[in-house]
A and B are shown apart, each in its own frame.
Chain A
Amino acid sequence: MAQHVHAQSSAATLDPPVLGAGQDYETITEAVAEIPLGKRTPFGWIVGFLIGLAGLGALQLAIGYLLLKGVYIWGNNVPVGWAFDIINFVWWIGIGHAGTLISAILMLFKQQWRMSIARFAEAMTIFAVACAALFPLLHTGRPWLAAYWLFPYPNTMGLWPQFRSPLIWDVFAVSTYATVSVVFWIVGLIPDLATMRDRATSAVKRKVFGTLALGWRGSARHWHRYEVASIILAGLSTPLVLSVHSVVSFDFAVSVIPGWHAAIFPPYFVAGAIYSGFGMVLTLAIPIRHAYRLEHLITMKHIDNMAKVMLATGLIVAYGYSMEAFFGWYSASFYERFMLWNRMTGPYAWSYWLLIFINAGLVNVLWFRKVRYNLKFMFVMSLIVNLAMWLERFVIIVTSLHRDFVVSSWDMYSPTKWDFMMFGGTMGLFLTLFFLFMRFVPMISIFEMKTLLPEAKVHVPHGHGDGHGH
């Protein structure tokens, strides 16, 4: 697999390497393993964790009050029956997609630069999916009753879910996505947990990591099965991640609402998901590599490549906008044309034009190498991209709904403080989980990074190593 390729093959070119100079097995292990094993907790970590906890507190408050009062405390009401709950759901789920793309799709393509960012990008996926799942679940009003019509199980009322509804497809897609992401992540962690076990100095840490490592000892037979399982999981995650956001887009595309009923939605949603996901990976990677001095593992090559993926997917999304406009006009449907006109000139036009400005205009600065290599700018850009992708969902959902077929039912939507508290709260949940992850889990795959070293490459004498057995 990918481990037998030289990291330094690009040394002669202008490209920065995927691994800094002067590294060996021990320095890589130490750089990553010392973060969770070290006794000292960095001050910045404590501050960040406390901010996360504050947000988590706000989330608990928002959920508690919601369960007490009901969903009327949110701003959504007819005709805008879906608003922050689904905007934030799609936004979070989309962010998660970059993690799977990095860990699975780029693994199949043998992209070495994925190795140092895959672990925490996948953690980002899992936490983002957890945040996303809260919204539709809580939008049901009484989430403990939602199981009756979300999950197929023989209940006493003899009811079964409506399998013809994209909302049920979404339940299957998102829960499968969450499960497979967690499984893939845990499998990827096992050898590194064994490294942590072997390097731990305290008995408690040794026991905890030892238990989690399941007895991993790195035998050739085990590595073989491990590598086969990893590539299968990557191969399964690839169609999965493409299907998840396609299914999310079906929630809209299968309906008859002008602005939603469009065949371009699945690919356009998937591209948007990867675009915002890479934005979030950059938002996380840029401060992490600086704070933990991991510049030799997460190099400028990684930042550069992620910026390029953002540029490509951003332009696909921009193409999606132009196609939406074209379809609206070409459909010759009065309602489609009105929706488009309303989106561009109506009361929410500011959100549409801001979105177009960022995703079709500003994103083009990433064509320039100087820009991609400017860390401060890339950090700001990653935040702007995520703002834009949030706006995209706002535009799609709110402007399509607020002026529908009958003029008498038109209305404006504005979120309440509980909407904002809930949304901010999920960011707190995400931050809390991510800071815990950074402190207690090796956030870069140690064993995979070692395979990038030239000394990890082996040569098998001729006549041996015929692997085609039975």
Chain B
Amino acid sequence: MHVSNEKTGLYGLMAEFDTAQGIVDASTKAVGAGYTKLEAYTPFPIEELNDIIHKRRTHLPKVVLFMAFCGMGTGFALQYWASTIAYPFNVGGRPLATWPAFVVPSYELTILFSALTAAIGMLALNGFPQPYHPVFNVERFTTASTDKFFLVIEAEDGRFTKEQTGAFLQGLGAKGVYDVAH
């Protein structure tokens, strides 16, 4: 991560687009031009953008699957241990390890662990809660959650220079190009 003098104080350049197709085309072209440190911001999910810009999917499902097994194991172990070791209780001479009866709580804990992992994992991988981010310094960015689409090329990108990148973004048909302060 090298930051040359002319880039100091700048997080990147932000281009504003009016349409979903506009941001998809702009992202495609920016990636095609060799930019690697960029991010698109949209008011609703456009799954294609992740494929274009980041080119890889999240590992979250694997983490959730792992935690699902942990939940199942925890549920079963808890019941087995409580019913046979910690508090053996003779009900009409039936066996202590009545595993079919343990299925329901194990099942519920499987789902509980997985769901909490999916939600907390998503938030954690996204870095939330994150009260501050440089993009919020741009006044127009408040429309990013309503109807405008933004593409940010970060100053850390090897190809970034304020003039050339600014001209490049203008050339993509941006409605406006703004400096993003740190």
Contact = CB atoms under 8 A, between A and B. Distances in A.
Interface of A: 1, 3-4, 24-26, 29, 152, 158-164, 166, 168-169, 172-173, 176, 179-180, 183-184, 186-187, 191, 194-195, 197-199, 210-211, 214-229, 232-233, 236-237, 239-240, 243, 247, 250, 447-448, 450-451, 455-461, 464-470
B92 to A, nearest CB: 11
Contacts of B153: none
Given A176-B109, A218-B42, A233-B118, A228 B58 contact: yes
29 contacts: A1-B47, A25-B146, A29-B147, A160-B87, A179-B116, A183-B116, A191-B145, A215-B132, A218-B145, A220-B50, A221-B50, A223-B42, A223-B45, A224-B49, A224-B57, A226-B122, A232-B115, A243-B111, A447-B44, A458-B48, A459-B24, A460-B28, A464-B32, A464-B52, A465-B28, A465-B48, A467-B47, A467-B51, A469-B57
Contacts of A24: 147
Contacts of B83: 160, 163-164
Given A1-B45, A219-B40, A447-B43, A460 B145 contact: no
Interface in B35-61: 39-58, 60-61
Nearest to A170: B104
A150 to B, nearest CB: 12
Interface stretch (B135-143, B160-168, B171-179): B135-143
Q: Count chain A CB atoms within 10 A of each CB in B28, B42, B121 and give the residue with the most.
A: B42
A468 B50 CA distance: 11
A180 B57 contact: no
Secondary structure type dominating chain A contacts:
helix
Contacts of B32: 464
Contacts of B118: 229, 232-233, 236
Interface string B62-94: 001000000000010011001100110101000
Interface in B91-128: 91, 98, 101-102, 104-105, 107-109, 111-112, 114-116, 118-119, 121-123, 125-128
* CB-CB nearest 4 A-B residue pairs: A469-B56, A25-B147, A229-B122, A467-B51
Contact of B111 (A195, A197, A240): A240
Contacts of B34: none
Interface residues of B, number: 77
B46 A162 contact: no
B43 A217 contact: no
Given A162-B89, A191-B145, A467-B55, 19 more contacts: A172-B104, A176-B112, A184-B115, A198-B142, A199-B142, A214-B123, A217-B136, A217-B141, A220-B42, A222-B126, A223-B42, A225-B58, A225-B125, A232-B114, A243-B108, A458-B46, A464-B51, A467-B50, A469-B57
Contacts of A4: 47
B131 A215 contact: yes
B19 interface: yes
B25 interface: yes
Given A172-B104, A247-B104, A198 B143 contact: yes
B119 A183 contact: yes
B135 A451 contact: no
